[in-house]
Amino acid sequence: MGMTMSDLAVHLDVSVVFISDVERGNRHPFTAERIIKACAFLEIDPEPLLLAAAKTRGAFELDAKRVSGKAREVGAALMRGWKDLNDEDLEKIGSVVRRREGNE
């Protein structure tokens, strides 16, 4: 299926110029939600784009609006302790998330 930048712009409810500006680095990367939506539309894995966006911003983005209080609590704890987690801890967290996504 041949998709155009215009098709993607309509799907994301943005202009082609907006997408082009993001692509050229003239605007900040898309939000995580928009990256995931674009990748679903394009049928590609969002992880490389989410990682690139986080690297550009210098931070990861968590949506704290549409989750439970427990999820916000865990997200806040993860933010506080992020720098102190070792690879083994991170692999355990990653394993839980991948299992929930059905990727393991």
- For residue 30, the SS3 value is coil
The CA angle 92-71-43, to the nearest 5 degrees, is 70
Task: Output the pTM of the full model.
Answer: 0.72
What is d(CA 12, CA 19) in angstroms, rounded to the nearest whole number? 9
How crowded is residue 30: how many other Cβ atoms within 10 Å of its Cβ?
20
Summarised one tens digit per residue, pLDDT across range 61-98 is: 888 888 999 999 999 999 999 999 999 999 999 999 88
1-61: which CATH architecture? Orthogonal Bundle (1.10)
How crowded is residue 3: how many other Cβ atoms within 10 Å of its Cβ?
11
What is d(CA 30, CA 58) in angstroms, rounded to the nearest whole number? 14
The residue ranges of every structural domain in the chain are 1-61, 63-104
